[in-house]
Amino acid sequence: MAGAPSLALRKPSVIPGFGLTLGFVLTYLGLVVLIPLAALVLKTAGLGWSGFLAIASDERTIAALWLSFSLSLVAAAINAVFGLVIAWVLVRYRFPGRRILDAMVDLPFALPTAVAGIALTALYAPNGWVGQYLEPLGIKVAYTPLGILVALVFIGIPFVVRTVQPVIEDLDSEVQEAAATLGATRLDTLARIVLPTLIPALLTGFALALARAVGEYGSVIFIAGNIPYVSEIAPLLIVVKLTEYNYAGATAIATLMLLISFALLLAINLLQAWSRRGFDRG
Amino acid sequence: MTRHTRLRSLAFAFGLAAFGLAGGASAADVSILNVSYDPTRELYKAYDEAFAAYWKEKTGDTVTVEQSHGGSGGQARAVIDGLPADVVTLALESDIDAIAANGGKVRKDWKGQFPDDSAPYTSTIVFLVRAGNPKGIKDWDDLVKPGIQVITPNPKTSGGARWNYLAAWAYANAHDGNDEAKTREFVTALYKNVPVLDTGARGSTTTFAQRGIGDVLLAWENEAFLALNELGPDKFEIVVPSLSIKAVPPVAIVDANVDQKGTRKVAEEYLNYLYSDVGQKIIAKNYYRPIKPEAADPADLKRFVEVKLVTIDDPQFGGWAKVQPAHFADGGIFDQIYKPSK
Amino acid sequence: MADVAISPPAVHRPVTTEPRAARIVLIAVAVLFLAFFLLLPLVVVFVEALGAGIGTYWKALVDKDALAAIRLTLLVAAIAVPANLVFGVAASWLIAKFEFRGKSVLTTLIDLPFSVSPVTSGLIYVLVFGAQGLLGPWLAAHGVKIIFAVPGIVLATIFVTFPFVARELIPIMQDQGTEDEEAAASLGAHGLTTFFRVTLPNIKWALLYGVLLCNARAMGEFGAVSVVSGKIRGQTNTMPLQVEILYNEYSYVAAFAVASLLALLALVTLAVKSFLEWRYAGELAAQRRH
């Protein structure tokens, strides 16, 4: 769909391998991702519309989905802001310990989520290293939605940093210099020239962090209070339904999450394609 | 290590895994899988060793008992989905019923297969409080007082949590003269005092003991004793309420699997041996109440406090077949507790 | 120290950098944020693991079940990572070098496993291969074990690490455009030759980085694997599952010991990546200028 609309399947190209890679990619994607996901949809379809709607409109389902998606959006937004700052600092400034900091960013990718959950709970529980100082201030983190937010910020931060970083590295300093020579203040240059260039990458990072946060289970489960309607995330509700042998209910919620995520991702991908065209090539 | 040797060691590991899954190579070696719930880890660790020694002596064969532990409901679901369990030793009758009902891997009349409704041990629900009992918690009605924080897992995902819930229900029912509305009110008030609903009993114990959350933990008696021993006898104490429930964790043969694997004989003997003097002794040592107290060490028995116990077959409950759908099913009484009032 | 970034040190170009005070504030924000959210949890893991002394730590690691978990984790990663590597290369070639209809849908589909909850990832394989699932009865009749055995764990791991390599490669290959490959092709080079001679040298760092991340995530996956594992001690427990089991047995030190191995793995991964970036900084910078 990208590029000029045309009736042909693809634009002609002399580069070989289109058929081969398309075939392989679709087969692999189909076997590993699409067919199993189709089983999910199939199982949900077994419920019929009314059954699906009954689960989808259940107050508890809505509360859990709302919690998951709203906290994920907030976490992704926090990550977008701080991720941008971190990426900027790591690329543009030289200071002692920069490399260590740079390496550390990937930690949430590599640290198992269950370990992260246990470690974060140990930190933010009222008797934990951080929690004991927050408790007298009346701030409760562990076992509240705030705790979930902390976990989601933790797992999402590398997505933003790593997608924005290469773009900052490639920033064209000539344009900035030109702007500065023409009398633009640094803030102006940043807002008018630098930021727009970063937006597509920032959006990608935001989308990835969001998508990852929505489904997160391992790290959240330890630090959330898991109280229905208050701190019960959607993936936990799936697990609850599963232990009740309620496959239909579990798959219905999973399908709902999938639909919302897919819609969000697609929207962000399109937004990104649009902004890339607008700023880069335009 | 070169890439080559690493690949070879991986192939070796793969071989080992396949070997283990195939259940042994020689005819004299047999392996069975016991799928159990969370708090039985220590019990079966000790029991499996005793049983292997017994089986070796009796038949000359070496038996390896593999263990899988997790939340009772999740474990039952895994067996339904194909986890090749030879025996299940779960927290609730209804979980084994579910295996029988979904796919029929366990026969419908499994309860009659072994003595005492297939329950070689029982337990009950007690309170674990912080040392010195600073909040003065004596009985169930102390738990609904404002400002008291109660730690219990989610009855939806934890078998032990259902016993906790039912024990509270039984107490309230006895005090309200069988008035269901009042009993509901009591149980609702109790759950309003719960700040964290962990997914399993072990999670709740950790929340209470390690994270310092809550004033009282509702726990299996065996779990409370174990926590006391493992996590510091000077930090907690056990409070036994005036009335509790007789928690009955049953065992069963997974017929479809043992017949396929040809392990019925050893699996049946494995469960039977739980009722032997040796089995009962190990059970009592691990803080479960033995079904035959005379076989157990009197010193172990002394640890159990006399408490008035209501059973699941009491008229107010009418057995698991009734309790499960009424209280714990989707939209059941437990779900209504958390429904925001409009 | 050679640096990756193209921009020379800030002092020479005051016009294109921020005032000193702003820089300090920004650095402070970045350092504090990372210290709070990333360093502290890592420190907790090691402090708890070594809390009872190095002897206890070592004993926890050479435990029979812990070793079995380590072996299984290595095995799973050894299958899942190469599989996704091949897929990632093919997918990025397809997406970066050709214009075709449905490309943005395909890109989204490749990202999809990121947004599928790990719990759901496990669930879908249960729905397909479980005893009650679509293929379950057929598999059982033929004695094929997938769920609650190694193949199921591998599949779930492949699913959750699916997009990592492709995600790293697509933007780099898109940036590099298609001129080089077109030139090679018009000179009559074979497709594979073109890839190995022309494309691969340009993308090898991104490729390596993708593989490292994919590997780290493959070894650390918890949610999806826990649904399909069956948790049989010494057989189907991966390291993250072993951590949970030990934690649930009140063996906190042992739990954190195994966890620290995984954290160590994370650190080694990152160290390797940093080392390579440093070692080949010149090459990388040249490549980025393309």
- pLDDT tens string B170-184: 999 999 888 889 999
pLDDT at B215: 95
DSSP B93-123: HHHHHHHHHTT-SS-TTGGGSSHHHH-SEEE
pLDDT at A89: 92
Whole-number mean pLDDT of chain A? 84
> Are A92 and C38 a contacting pair at CB < 8 A?
no
Residue of B86 and C136 predicted with greater confidence: B86
Chain C residues with beta carbon closer than 8 angstroms to that of B68: 230-233
Cβ-based contacts under 8 A for chains B and C: 88
Partner chains of C (3+ C-beta pairs under 8 Å): A, B
Residue of B311 and C108 predicted with greater confidence: B311
CA distance C37 to A155: 9
- The 10s digit of each residue's pLDDT in B270-292 is 999 999 999 999 999 999 999 99
Contacts of A187 (CB under 8 A, 6+ apart): none
Considering only residues 252 to 271 of chain B, which have any Cβ-Cβ distance to chain A shorter than 8 Å?
A: none
**Closest residue in B to C133 (Cα–Cα):** B81
**Which of A2, A11, A189 is nearest residue C104 as measured by Cβ atoms?**
A2
Q: What is the pLDDT along chain A (282 residues), one digit of tens a residue?
A: 444 444 456 777 778 888 888 999 999 999 999 999 999 988 888 888 888 888 888 888 999 999 999 999 999 999 999 999 999 999 888 888 888 888 788 888 777 788 888 899 889 988 888 989 998 888 888 889 999 999 999 999 998 998 888 888 877 776 777 777 777 777 777 777 788 888 888 988 898 899 889 988 888 988 888 888 888 999 999 988 888 788 888 999 999 998 888 888 778 878 877 776 655 443
Band of pLDDT at residue B114, cut at 50, 70 and 90: very high
> Are C71 and B16 a contacting pair at CB < 8 A?
yes
Cβ-based contacts under 8 A for chains A and B: 73
Considering only residues 251 to 290 of chain C, which have any Cβ-Cβ distance to chain B shorter than 8 Å?
A: 252
Most confident listed range (B165-169, C99-103, C176-180): B165-169
Band of pLDDT at residue C194, cut at 50, 70 and 90: confident
Chain A residues with beta carbon closer than 8 angstroms to that of C262: 110-112, 115
Residue of B231 and B328 predicted with greater confidence: B328
> Are C75 and B202 a contacting pair at CB < 8 A?
no
Whole-number mean pLDDT of chain B? 89
> Are B330 and A221 a contacting pair at CB < 8 A?
no
pLDDT surpasses 60 at B194: yes
> Are A226 and B156 a contacting pair at CB < 8 A?
no
Beta-bridge partners for B125:
B220
Contacts of A56 (CB under 8 A, 6+ apart): A62, A252, A256
pLDDT at B134: 95
CA distance B323 to B166: 9
pLDDT at A3: 43
> Are C33 and A85 a contacting pair at CB < 8 A?
yes
pLDDT at C12: 43
- The 10s digit of each residue's pLDDT in C42-78 is 899 899 889 888 888 998 889 899 999 999 999 999 9
pLDDT surpasses 70 at C235: yes
CA distance B253 to B268: 7
Chain B residues with beta carbon closer than 8 angstroms to that of C244: none
pLDDT at B64: 94
Which is it for the CA torsion B13, B18, B21, B26, positive or negative?
negative
All structural domains of chain A: 37-281 (1.10.3720.10)
This complex has an ipTM of 0.80
Interface test with B, best of A61, A66, A217, A226 (most B CBs within 10 A): A226
Please tell me the least confidently modeled range out of B82-96, B152-166, C61-75, C136-150. C136-150
pLDDT surpasses 50 at C11: no
Please tell me the least confidently modeled range out of A237-246, B178-187, B259-268, C156-165. A237-246
Contacts of B322 (CB under 8 A, 6+ apart): none
CA distances from C4 to A2, A82, C15, C140, C280 (A): 32, 21, 21, 55, 9
pLDDT at A270: 81
- The 10s digit of each residue's pLDDT in B13-72 is 444 444 444 444 444 689 999 999 988 999 999 999 999 999 999 999 999 999 999 888
Average pLDDT (B132-145) is 95
> Are B156 and A127 a contacting pair at CB < 8 A?
no
pLDDT surpasses 70 at C3: no
**Three-class DSSP category at B202:** helix
Chain C residues with beta carbon closer than 8 angstroms to that of B200: 248
pLDDT at C210: 86
> Are C288 and A170 a contacting pair at CB < 8 A?
yes
What distance in Å separates residue B225's CA from the closest CA in chain A? Answer: 23
> Are A125 and B212 a contacting pair at CB < 8 A?
yes
> Are A254 and C134 a contacting pair at CB < 8 A?
no
All structural domains of chain B: 3-119+249-275 (3.40.190.10), 123-247+307-338 (3.40.190.10)
Average pLDDT (C159-187) is 85
Residue of C111 and B193 predicted with greater confidence: B193
pLDDT at C8: 45
Chain B residues with beta carbon closer than 8 angstroms to that of C75: 10, 13-14, 17
Interface test with A, best of C1, C72, C81, C123 (most A CBs within 10 A): C123
> Are A246 and B330 a contacting pair at CB < 8 A?
yes
Band of pLDDT at residue B217, cut at 50, 70 and 90: very high
Write down the CATH number for the domain with range C10-289: 1.10.3720.10
